[in-house]
Structure 1
């Protein structure tokens, strides 16, 4: 077992729902298979270590009560099984194919929460899906609210639909909802593996209230059990896995070879790969013309897009055949926005709708577009789309106007669009299946290179094929234009879904929010992350380290080891008692009256030989002179629960220090003995760093700013001390001078005296090599401690991932003044805490450098556009001179931030970081903030309308975060400026309301 007594319970799921009881069943591989191919499923459950499983009789107690929601259709076994888990008030992960009906489980969880007067949160990965789900749930239950960042509707509702980012933010801010929520539903939880945003899911799950229960809805993932094991471990509660590979509508997979005229069935509805048919398909592939080398992208440059007038393109032939065979509606997936539109334009001769449908489409289209201004209705994207839609052909990608995308979704759901060209984002979200899915390409560009589709991507998109209750089978067609190895095809068509692997990574916003939060602890977040959980399963390396260290330890031989060990242990006891005594003497109530300016203190300092083992009979000390002391934490002096009390105070002292660079911070300061080389520096030390307090006081000059004044003062300290022998420097007597009458002080003093007598009589006390032997023995003890630590790590699985990066990032935050050395969040840190939609450090630096105060609102909007625009444009308009100067300022700031990170050992490519801020839409956003019409901006900006709208909406999100940031530090002037910026950009088509609301 991976988790001690974590138990696995495989349950054969019986088809108890209405209609299944009379059907013939047979058991196969621990699951129930129904002869009529009804949906069998596997049910597992993960229990936390030490969990006592209730007897089965009580487990079914919840099933007797009236169901929270009745459905008009017979539930599949996986739905019934998941609902039983909900009624037992236990978390469940439902892993099933797209369109299998996972939302039924979410609906029941909401109904159950409302029945029990509990609050429920439904999170989704994207705003558009949140809007759609809000509409869907609002129709079922009235008590539903929505929070997406763009829109807030009824935030006090019992059921709240929101994006995962909003939920994360609410948890960090300690929202009232987090204390009231009983159930949290994470839709599309497989998003957790997303390279950029997946970490948000992990944070949200780890930080979720401990008394909450969870519903996870996921595409099929092979390691669902591992995910449930993790949830059970971190939240100390059972987590069920209800898994089904069943597709309500079986799929047939065909290949359409480029230049050919027919389809070849390569995987039948029973999942069998047909080798002979696959070879026939490849043989039918028309090779590219001699000398015409195909691009690595594998695009259908020749036949797909550039078909001659006399010769039908492959895509036209494909759609024509689909319509003739009545395989429509069809979704044709393409992997670029431009190709999507280009392919749709190939259909200009095709008309798939009758007159009544055309009238219907026009009415729906214009009733949606009525919320746009007359100017916006004339946008080319709007005017060009209607003729296409009326012919039953649609386009769906992220570059479309959001309102246009939504109207196309609604038309597709109503069956008025027969042929939809879409990018893969259409495969995420609302249940919008078709009879047929076509892959216009089997290769995609993933940001770095062109590659074959993964089996997981293929499974996700092909899941849109086959409408439950309408089609006997769904059809998937791959258009192939280059030789495809059988192994590659099998992997794609028959491979397993992608594993749910953690994409956890650290961010400064996360780190600062954790440090600021009352219960926050970055180390705990890391320790409880799914990333850590997966990493801990690879422990063999720790085993090797343990063996190597044991070998090194056993190779160290010390003469008279037993006697040396005894002496070493006495010495450690002595040091411990001396520290205990010092803590009593230096408790604020005793020492504060004596920390007056001018008093000479003995303080701890750095060793002369830092390369030697960290052991010496006496700890090195030096001297300094008190200048001042102050309280650093707002706590009561009588608060006995705080240990040590002295940590609440710092003392400013003048002493000698070695100042140098270590490649991590700009400079390091180490206190050294007064006679050693170094500089006279005023440093703040905690009271616990004081060794002893002398009776000696001296007058210190009022001005110690100059180096000479500080140097002269330290000379006077040395002169004062030189009047006495080292052992005879007059020290404050704890009992006579400081009037300490505590019994614990007297008790510790007596134990120290007894130990000193033992030292004098010890058999190795006068050995000439005793110090050397003690150092070697100390080294052996350190090895033993490391071995012990590794053993503990292996037992408790706490080999913390990201440990070094965490330290490095904390160094960055200290260097830049976001946190103190004690990890207390400063003003800068409070600002960065609020910024989660843009690069927080660079943006905070610009704010504190006064950049936003000195520029016009329009210029500020233009500058902020560089934080939200990520697409690369070849022919972007170069910004005017004043905007270009601002961009240079941004680049300089970004470079400084990146260089500090590099110095602090954070892995970062400085040039890539600086170039991630792009000026491509600075002019467009300047014009928008100035009041220009959207169509005017589009006429001079070479980007998709939807992409620009998304950037402006994200910019508004950043501005809202900056308003919060300015509020948190009392910057009312900046707050007003950010609010004015919001009012200038939040208008017209860019913020047109969703059709789902």
Structure 2
């Protein structure tokens, strides 16, 4: 890369991070530039363009949104000349061979797949055509060599690269980086993210040498303010690190919720705007997280004068000219507010009207734009102030606080470079959020960039068109998701490594040991344990039987009977029963004299054996007196006297009876196994028990290692398992054969959408082949329109022809749904009946105003449905192996749909 004279290119002094990025590019590296919104990141992309123009090479400039692509086209035409700049957004192609080509990131990804945008996919095979069995099937046209197409490409600028965080579309960014040839420099421009070093390291691994250029410098510094019903106040202290002490009286949102103070402190919309106007803090972007909220705000403010006479005259001139040229494009109920410098900006508004709002705001004629957060996504609408009306927003899972990146993205719109000394960010007291929440977000670090890499049918088919399954797996496993997963799992990997080290040490200690002998020894040990366990059971059974028999006649024994009693848990002693006394329950207590001349109070449970009465002697039991101090309670003892000693000497030893034969037999088995163990060859190793313990530990660690390794591999293989699930579904529909796309698979590979297989199944079903253009447009709308919300209505029905086609497609949809459920795949399969009557009537020529009167949808939503329909219709003529009649009908249907305000405004 040659060096250019920066003084000639840019009539101002460049910031340090810009110089560092340019130096890295000139050294042949790719760059990741992470810097705040409005810091001048785009200049680095512009430098790459100047380089390409100087060396007669090409640059692709990718953006996440069509609106951003259109804006860049206008900006770059003015900067580099109209002949040098082109546009590709799928359904729009302008000057496509220009040296500077602006496009959505999806278009670049498709190019890397080998899809030539607006040209047929190049995978011609004559036998596949013959297999279709009809000349009316359109084959692929000759291929354009991808290597040749990209040979002159010097660099690709990935603007708004933090869009990789987007759940729906982030995969496209990862694919673009993974598939991009290493010879092409990547210029990734990102808002501030917490893990920019990780992103850079990943690109360095999967693409090539990459430098991280990060900066927290903001040319127009931000000042944070907080507004409640008392007015505006600085949000942070003088060091801008903590909450302004004067605002500490504002309770947090939980206190507000339960005490009701938040609602009392909440300022009105008019009060907030008046505060901004008094402090010369306009123009402002006022973020409100709902379309309805934006529209209501415009209505509430449309009587507030914010522009002077000169500005009002300029507004009137331009608005009147716009409405004269586009009578159907005026936003109902908001024209008068626009004359006064107040507007709304959200996805429900017509693109043409939004374009007018953006143009007037850039001229400084609009003072307040009430916008949803989509405006924070890079549209060029510089403001002196941004107002964030709430610090929480509604999601599919309920309300949640904004995260730091969302907050900073909106805050970053404040401050116009070269116009403002400072940019103001105002957060507003609400019922649930207060100053503490605002200060937390204002001082929080940016969130890390996450990966939402998810395989799709299009990804599977396009990769397998040009790669083996093994190579496809290699590409999938190069995802940022896998990279982050490896980092997260690194500590667990260390645990496994430690286990492997312990196993290796144990195996070393077991070296020279015949493991089979040890295992045989262990089996004998196990048999011995089992034999002892069985012996114990038999002994317990014998004891229970003996005690049961004893309990039946123990109440009837007489004084003078010889017995054996428990002295402790394991010790018994011969004794004579001297007397019976009432006990605490059914059985009496027994006062016994033991052979060691002690009186013992025993319960029936303490007597384990009963014999014959003691022999008659001169010393009779009658002569024995039970000491009165003996406590009559089981377990109590008291030493006897001389008289009792004479009796104690006469107590014979009462032996326990021999165990029954089954116990003796089991005892013999135990002794036999013990003998075998004593003679076992494993004894040559010394302490067999210790060695066996090591062997058991080694086996245990190996089992744990295998299980934990499988768990880790499953987590790592998540994307690949999803890829293979899609492979199985494609095989079941014959879209893959021998891991290569069939003719049907090639058709699906050429399509782009939420579910490429579903689109291809519908296109190749035969149900669409003979439809009239307006019917085809309606069916295509049904295939790409998300299910409507319950509160949405359209009172335009569909024709019987369309309904019949959709009914037939419903059976195919059911088959695909079953297969996806079997493989646990959750890719949407749209088939809408409720909204698409709008498209049929539009295709039949209904006027825009009348069309919108038949639905509760916002005009912008109708445009979105129509444009998605138009996008699909525009693809059909370039999809191989579809009937020519279908392709011709699609071209005509596209012409019916592509009229103002659906047509793109460039």
Q: Does 1:322 align with 2:267?
A: no
Question: 1:177 Cα shift?
Answer: 3.6
1:189 pairs with one of 161, 176, 181 = 161
Identify the residue that residue 693 of structure 1 maps to in structure 2: none
Structure 1 residues 864 and 182: CA distance shift in structure 2, 3 A: same
Q: Does 1:955 align with 2:886?
A: no
User: Residues 976-987 of structure 1: matches in 2 within 5 Å?
Assistant: 976-987=888-899
Deviations 1:688-719 (A, max 9, x none): xxxxxxxxxxxxxxxxxxxxxxxxxxxxxxxx
Identify the residue that residue 813 of structure 2 maps to in structure 1: 894
Structure 1 residues 359 and 314: CA distance shift in structure 2, 3 A: same
Question: 1:561 Cα shift?
Answer: 8.3
User: Residues 966-985 of structure 1: matches in 2 within 5 Å?
Assistant: 968-969=880-881, 971-985=883-897
Question: 1:457 Cα shift?
Answer: 0.5
1:209 pairs with one of 181, 187, 193 = 181
**Number of aligned pairs?**
684
Identify the residue that residue 210 of structure 2 maps to in structure 1: 239
* Whole-angstrom CA distance in 2 between matches of 1:895 and 1:284: 47
User: Residues 220-259 of structure 1: matches in 2 within 5 Å?
Assistant: 220-235=192-207, 237-257=208-228
Deviations 1:891-948 (A, max 9, x none): 4332321211222x33439xxx46x543332110110111211112101011111121
Which secondary structure state, in structure 1, belongs to the residue aligned with residue 223 of structure 2?
A: strand
Deviating beyond 6 angstroms after TM superposition, the runs of 4 or more aligned structure 1 residues are 283-290, 546-563, 783-794
Question: 1:363 Cα shift?
Answer: 2.6
Identify the residue that residue 397 of structure 2 maps to in structure 1: 448
1:70 pairs with one of 9, 19, 22 = 9
Of stretches 837-846 and 486-495 in structure 1, the one that deviates more from structure 2 is 486-495
* Whole-angstrom CA distance in 2 between matches of 1:513 and 1:407: 40
1:468 pairs with one of 402, 417, 425 = 417
Which secondary structure state, in structure 2, belongs to the residue aligned with residue 860 of structure 1?
A: helix
Which secondary structure state, in structure 1, belongs to the residue aligned with residue 86 of structure 2?
A: strand
1:512 pairs with one of 457, 461, 467 = 461
Which secondary structure state, in structure 1, belongs to the residue aligned with residue 249 of structure 2?
A: helix
Question: 1:70 Cα shift?
Answer: 2.3
Identify the residue that residue 279 of structure 1 maps to in structure 2: 248
User: Residues 728-877 of structure 1: matches in 2 within 5 Å?
Assistant: 800-820=717-737, 822-870=738-786, 872-877=789-794
Q: Which runs of 5+ in 2 are unaligned?
A: 115-144, 518-697
Identify the residue that residue 263 of structure 1 maps to in structure 2: 232
* Whole-angstrom CA distance in 1 between matches of 2:167 and 2:49: 30
1:941 pairs with one of 838, 855, 860 = 855
Question: 1:191 Cα shift?
Answer: 0.2
Of stretches 474-483 and 505-514 in structure 1, the one that deviates more from structure 2 is 474-483
* Whole-angstrom CA distance in 1 between matches of 2:67 and 2:209: 32
Which secondary structure state, in structure 2, belongs to the residue aligned with residue 263 of structure 1?
A: strand
Check whether the contact 1:331–1:436 (CA below 8 A) recurs between aligned residues. yes
Which secondary structure state, in structure 1, belongs to the residue aligned with residue 235 of structure 2?
A: strand
* Whole-angstrom CA distance in 2 between matches of 1:817 and 1:339: 49
Deviations 1:364-414 (A, max 9, x none): 234444553xxxx145x4454332111011111111111111111110010
TM norm structure 1: 0.64
* Whole-angstrom CA distance in 1 between matches of 2:296 and 2:255: 22
Identify the residue that residue 585 of structure 1 maps to in structure 2: none
* Whole-angstrom CA distance in 2 between matches of 1:487 and 1:231: 38
Check whether the contact 2:390–2:427 (CA below 8 A) recurs between aligned residues. yes
* Whole-angstrom CA distance in 2 between matches of 1:472 and 1:875: 46
Question: 1:544 Cα shift?
Answer: 4.8
* Whole-angstrom CA distance in 1 between matches of 2:255 and 2:307: 33
Question: 1:813 Cα shift?
Answer: 0.9
* Whole-angstrom CA distance in 1 between matches of 2:497 and 2:482: 20
- For the pair shown, which has the larger CA radius of gyration, 1 or 2? 2
Q: Does 1:541 align with 2:455?
A: no
Question: 1:209 Cα shift?
Answer: 1.5
Check whether the contact 1:442–1:480 (CA below 8 A) recurs between aligned residues. no
Structure 1 residues 186 and 892: CA distance shift in structure 2, 3 A: same
Structure 1 residues 352 and 430: CA distance shift in structure 2, 3 A: same
Which secondary structure state, in structure 2, belongs to the residue aligned with residue 516 of structure 1?
A: helix
* Whole-angstrom CA distance in 2 between matches of 1:232 and 1:283: 44
Of stretches 361-370 and 143-152 in structure 1, the one that deviates more from structure 2 is 361-370
Identify the residue that residue 168 of structure 1 maps to in structure 2: 109
* Whole-angstrom CA distance in 2 between matches of 1:798 and 1:350: 57
Deviations 1:576-604 (A, max 9, x none): xxxxxxxxxxxxxxxxxxxxxxxxxxxxx
Identify the residue that residue 89 of structure 2 maps to in structure 1: 148
Q: What is the root-mean-square deviation in Å for CA atoms of aligned residues?
A: 3.7
Identify the residue that residue 648 of structure 1 maps to in structure 2: none
Structure 1 residues 269 and 982: CA distance shift in structure 2, 3 A: farther
* Whole-angstrom CA distance in 1 between matches of 2:703 and 2:180: 36
* Whole-angstrom CA distance in 2 between matches of 1:366 and 1:334: 28
Q: Which runs of 5+ in 1 are unaligned?
A: 1-60, 305-312, 564-779
Identify the residue that residue 56 of structure 2 maps to in structure 1: 117
Question: 1:955 Cα shift?
Answer: 1.1
Higher relative contact order (CA 8 A, sep 6+): 2
Structure 1 residues 524 and 506: CA distance shift in structure 2, 3 A: same
User: Residues 256-655 of structure 1: matches in 2 within 5 Å?
Assistant: 256-257=227-228, 260-268=229-237, 270-282=239-251, 314-372=268-326, 377-378=327-328, 381-382=330-331, 384-484=333-433, 488-517=437-466, 521-537=471-487, 538-544=489-495
Question: 1:266 Cα shift?
Answer: 1.8
Question: 1:87 Cα shift?
Answer: 2.1
Structure 1 residues 547 and 850: CA distance shift in structure 2, 3 A: farther
User: Residues 91-106 of structure 1: matches in 2 within 5 Å?
Assistant: 91-106=30-45
Which secondary structure state, in structure 1, belongs to the residue aligned with residue 248 of structure 2?
A: helix
* Whole-angstrom CA distance in 2 between matches of 1:873 and 1:181: 48
Check whether the contact 2:225–2:232 (CA below 8 A) recurs between aligned residues. yes
Structure 1 residues 853 and 483: CA distance shift in structure 2, 3 A: closer
Identify the residue that residue 26 of structure 2 maps to in structure 1: 87
Deviations 1:612-668 (A, max 9, x none): xxxxxxxxxxxxxxxxxxxxxxxxxxxxxxxxxxxxxxxxxxxxxxxxxxxxxxxxx
Question: 1:331 Cα shift?
Answer: 0.9
Structure 1 residues 469 and 983: CA distance shift in structure 2, 3 A: closer
Check whether the contact 1:437–1:475 (CA below 8 A) recurs between aligned residues. yes
